[in-house]
Every structure is written in C-alpha cells, then in structure tokens.
Structure 1
Amino acid sequence: MITIIVIGLVFSILLSGCGKKEEKTLSIGEQFGLAYAPLEIMKSKGFLEAALQERNLDIAVQWKKLGNTSAIRESMLSGDLDIGFTAIPPFLIGRDKGMDWRIIAGISKTSVSLVTKDPDLSSISDLKDNHRIMLPQPGSIQHILLMMAAEKATGKASAFDGQLLSMAHPDGVTAFISGNEDLLHFTTPPYLQEELENGGRVLLDGRESFGGDFTFIVGICQDRVFKDTKVYESFKEALVKTMEYIESDKDGTLRILSEAYEYETGELESYLGDGTTTFGTGVEGIDTFVEFMERNGLISSSLKGMELFWEQDAK
C-alpha cells in the first residue's frame, strides 16, 4: 500500500511539472547614471508591458543593472539579456569583434567629465605617474574621450592607459570623495555633481575632448531580437512613448527619477535643468568615434563596411 501511495505521489508531481508553462521574459540591461533615465521612466510607467500586451504577447519584462559593457556583452552571449544599453565606443568594439548586435536607437546625451581634487592639476598634461583615473573599463566612452584629449595634449593617445582603474560609477564616487588627491574620476550625472559638491572640479570636459556634441547612450540588440518583429516593435513603441512622457510631464519625470536614483527632486531638477543632459532617439557622433578608434588600433578598418543600425534611417 505504501509503495502504491509513493508511486501515485511521484506521478502526480510529474504531471504537475509537465503542466507548468515556462514564462517567457524580455530581459533588458542598463547601467548607472542619469543618462539611463528614460529606462527608469519606461519601467515605472509600464510602457513596454503595455506595448507587448497590445500585440497579445504574454511576456514578462526583466530589468538588470550591470556594471559595464563587458557584463552586457557576456549576458547577451549567454542568452540572459535581450536588449542592452551602452555608449557608442564599447558597442563599436563588440561589433568589430564579431558581436551580431546593432543599434536600435539613441536615448541620451550628457556631460562626461574628468574630476579631480588635486590643486596642482590645471590640465591633463600635468598628470603624474602616481595619478589614477577611475572609469568603467578600458574601451569605455570615458577611456576614448581621455585618449582623444591625450592625443591632443601629448601626441600619444595611449599616454595615460597605464593609470586606469576600472570601477562602476557609484563605487567611483565613494572612492573619489574619501580618497587622496591622486585619485581622479571620469564620470557622469548625477555622480559628477555629487563630486563637484564634495571638493571636486572638472579637469577635462568630454565635449571639449570630442570636439562637439555626441550621443552618449544607445540601445542595442542581437539579430534574434530584431527578427522577433512584435517584440522589437513593442520596444520601439515604448521608447517613443517614454520620450513623449519626459517632454510632456516634467514633474512626473522628476518624481519617478527621484525615487529611482534616491536624490531629492530639487537636486535632480538642477542636474537636468542645466541643459547638458538631454534625451532623444537620434544618434550623433558615431563617425567621429569610428575614425578615431580605427586610427588608434581599437577597431579594424573592416568595421566601416558593417551595418551598425538595424534600421539605416535611424542614423
């Protein structure tokens, strides 16, 4: 009798397991800073979930916070990430190395600045061997902007490559504020403003280094996502609605971002109100990055023949 009961229980469990439907998810990877603010709005307002439901797609949206583009690349390769957000240079490096990802759209432009507390520094030409520069990783947009400035100042783009420290922005802020004067941080809002309020000053401005304006963050995905037309179009629709919301409801935007970033709305209003951080789906500056990175051996010449956008009219 006991044997029959045990067999019955096992059979019941197996049937129950077979009846369970595995939930399909759409996984989205973001990084740190106000440049990713549109994603916090999309998340809070549920625009993506609504767009998926309109197309009768029973898909859960999963948001992941990752420290740098290397983490995004590895997650995409393993299939754990469907759509990621990164700056243009690391996207180009990944594309050049064979990643089948391309750009969906841009989401932001922002200030990118090298901050110091050392009173003896008036330009990057004054940097000594003991100075260390924190940034997300080699090949990041901060690294490329530093190389652009180094080439102009010293004639050698890689002049400061031996002084880099890879660190996510939140950790970099903590290290900068509590650390010695030989520690510099190449960062973005709101971490930039926090450091300026704690004894820091801008040593190098990213726009000056680049020689003009450029898109900071772009959304990317692989071929498998682009070919899943309903999912891809759902995301594009949600992104447009997000940008429309940011433009039409300033107070609502500030409330959402205040909760997401844990800053007072007044602080965020001042950070966003200076005009240095803007949001939109256009992509600007990619040709300049390609030319510089190819010339300095960071990408190959064959990249110029590759398609970089899923939709060529998105440029």
Structure 2
Amino acid sequence: MTKINSKTKPLACASLLLAALTLPLSASAEGQLRIAQQFGIVYLLLNIAQVQKLIEKHGKAEGLDIHVDYQQLSGGAAVNEALLSGSVDIAGGGIGPLFTLWDRTRDRQNVRAVVATGQFPYYLISTNPKVKSIADFTDKDRIAVPAVGVSVQSRFLQQASAELWGDKAYNRLDKLQVALPHPDATAAIISNGTEISAHFSNSPFQEQALAANPNAHIVLNSYTVAGGANTPVVLYTTEKFRQENPRTYRAFVNAIAEAAEFTAQHPQEAADAFIRVNNSKIDRKLLLQILQSPEVKFTVTPNNTLSLGQFLYRVGAIKHNPESVKDYFFDDPHVASGS
C-alpha cells in the first residue's frame, strides 16, 4: 500500500496533529504490524526487512505469523499524524519530528523511538551560484524540505540559523521553505525549471542532483550542524503498542537489527533491495558508493541525537528538555550505548 502526500501544508497538518492527540488509538492485535516510511537510503533497513521477510522470520521465533504492511508517506507531519490516528503502528521519520511528538505526547500516548536506522549526512543543495552559505539566501530563493518547520531537515536549518544569527532568529529561513517530497524536489533541482532553487535532501537524492546538475552545490552538511556524524532518522511508536504487542515489538526490533548487520556486510545485495523496493532508476555504481561511504554507517544504535532535542527546548520549539537518550528512546539493549 503506497500513500504519498506531495503537498503537506504545515497549518493543516498541525491542526490534524493536535486533533489526533485527543483521539484514542485503535487496538492492534499481536501479529499485525503497519509501518510508515518515507523516501531515501535512510530507510534501507526497512527495505531489507521487507525483501528478506525478516519481521516475519523473527515473528515465527516468537510463535507469531506476523502480517506486515509497509506504507510510504512524505514528511514528518504526515507520518506523525498517521501514528497518532492509529493508522500505523511504527513510524519512520526524522529525529526532529520524533522530538516534536515525544514532547506533545508526554503522559498521554508516550511516543518514543525504538531504534535508529543509521548515520547519514544530509546536504542542503542550491543551484543559485550566489548562495555559498545559508547567509546568502534571499527572499527569491525557495528551499524544498519534506515538511516546513518540523522535518529534521528544517530543524537542522533552524539550528544552523541559530548558530549564525542567534536563538531568537532560529526560524528565520522557515519562510523560504516549501514542503515537497524528495523525489519531486530532486527533479526540480535537476531541471532548474521551477521556483525551487535549493533542497535540503538525503541520500540518494542529494548525490543524484549533484551528479546531474553542474550548478548544484553543497551549501550545508548536517554533520557540520550536529558537530559530527549523527542519526537523522529513527523508527518510533507509542507506549501502548509496545506494551500490548510485546512479541511483535521484539520481532520488529530483532529484524531491524539483523537488517543493519546484513546491510553493513553485504552492500551489493542491499543495493539490489533498495532498487527493487523503491523501483529506483538510480545508477547502481552511485548507489554502492553511497552505501560504502565512510560517512555512512548502518546501525540501530542512535548517535549524537541529544543536542538537537536540547536545542529545540532552548528555543522553545518543545516544552520538555531531554536529558539523555533514555528519555526519548524505549529501553532496549540496542540503544543502551546510544547518544
């Protein structure tokens, strides 16, 4: 089942999100798992699990025949709405949307992350030759992001803005942002035929754009904003689902952990899985270069995520200050050494 929201509107999604916070979540019996993912290599572990039926495999070890439904959405707001409305059981999204939902569901649905999907750099790309840094953006520029103000790309841009102009101006560049799925934004950057002049992207879209358009160049690397390699994407769920479906939950965690090990050891097969699930036309050589990049690491253990949450608290974007990774991740051996 594939659902793509190509025009996520921040105000509408914010209203739906607030409404969803007051709705009861539908019960989900053991052996049923609905997963929402988005676009990019950051979701490769789910692709591996899908192709190799790893969740089903680990379900059998738990005495379950698990039926898995993979859904594809665009933008953290749409994913969060799906989780809160009970449309999905596991949400795949940026660490930024997770902090938003963790903060808003405290003492209610108690949403927390389950595992990470790896460490990946995100590039802010521009086709405007005058834009060398974020300080060079003007009102004529339009920056594509999955969801304005709340996606992890938008949050990274806010963090970089605060470093440059101060905390009070952290959302200075929000007005230039346009909500657009990565495939559409990449096509706009490559064609140079729309109002989109910049795209805060992820792999493989950022590498495809850089390879296809000689005017495309990197303005900002998320690793620079984060102060080093970090986890931009996590898989998260509600406390209710975890408590009521312990065997399905364990099967899911063990499956994703196995997918991470497999991907790290077998990049060729992992590349094939990505192409198959996403029906991707990407150059396979380019894809393998990304998977084997020293900047990329496939692991379910979160790395360097806390600073973004503490930044969001400092500027008032969230009301609760995360003090450690244990605040916004469920307790699990795979997460114990995370940061």
Q: TM tier, shorter chain?
A: 0.7 to 0.9
Runs of 4+ in 1 over 6 A off after TM superposition: none
1:175-223 Cα deviation digits (max 9, x unpaired): 2222358621000111001110123110111111222221111111112
Q: CA deviation at 1:276?
A: 2.3
What corresponds to 1:142 in structure 2? Answer: 153
**Counterparts of 1:74 and 1:51, CA distance in 2:** 28
TM-score by length of 2: 0.81
Structure number with larger C-alpha Rg: 1
CA contact (8 A) 2:121 2:229 kept: no
1:161-180 Cα deviation digits (max 9, x unpaired): 21111111111112222235
Moved more, 84-93 or 299-308: 299-308
Matching residue's letter, 2:330: W
Aligned counterparts, 1:76-155, within 5 A: 76-98=83-105, 99-137=109-147, 138-155=149-166
Aligned counterparts, 1:280-291, within 5 A: 280-291=299-310
Could you tell me which of 242, 246, 270 is aligned with 2:263?
246
What corresponds to 2:171 in structure 1? Answer: 158
What corresponds to 2:210 in structure 1? Answer: 196
Q: CA deviation at 1:130?
A: 1.1
CA contact (8 A) 1:95 1:102 kept: yes
Could you tell me which of 42, 66, 71 is aligned with 1:59?
66
Aligned counterparts, 1:29-44, within 5 A: 29-44=36-51
Unaligned runs of 5+ in 1: 1-21
**Counterparts of 2:321 and 2:230, CA distance in 1:** 23
**Counterparts of 2:95 and 2:185, CA distance in 1:** 21
Distance change (3 Å), C-alpha of 1:300 and 1:255:
same
Moved more, 40-49 or 238-247: 238-247
CA contact (8 A) 1:107 1:280 kept: yes
Distance change (3 Å), C-alpha of 1:123 and 1:265:
same
What corresponds to 1:235 in structure 2? Answer: 252
Q: CA deviation at 1:135?
A: 0.4
What corresponds to 1:217 in structure 2? Answer: 233
CA contact (8 A) 2:146 2:179 kept: yes
CA contact (8 A) 1:135 1:167 kept: yes
| Residue aligned with 1:311, SS | coil
Distance change (3 Å), C-alpha of 1:274 and 1:299:
same
Kindly indicate whether residue 327 of structure 2 is the aligned counterpart of residue 307 of structure 1: yes
CA contact (8 A) 1:108 1:215 kept: yes
- Identity in percent: 24
> How many corresponding residue pairs?
294
Q: CA deviation at 1:78?
A: 2.2
**Counterparts of 1:182 and 1:105, CA distance in 2:** 33
Unaligned runs of 5+ in 2: 1-28
Distance change (3 Å), C-alpha of 1:23 and 1:35:
closer
Distance change (3 Å), C-alpha of 1:252 and 1:123:
same
TM-score by length of 1: 0.87
Distance change (3 Å), C-alpha of 1:279 and 1:114:
same
Could you tell me which of 175, 178, 184 is aligned with 1:171?
184
What corresponds to 1:9 in structure 2? Answer: none
Matching residue's letter, 1:223: E
**Counterparts of 2:263 and 2:322, CA distance in 1:** 34
1:74-96 Cα deviation digits (max 9, x unpaired): 22222220111111111011111
Distance change (3 Å), C-alpha of 1:106 and 1:37:
same
CA contact (8 A) 2:77 2:151 kept: no
Higher normalized helix content (fraction of residues): 1
CA contact (8 A) 2:261 2:299 kept: no
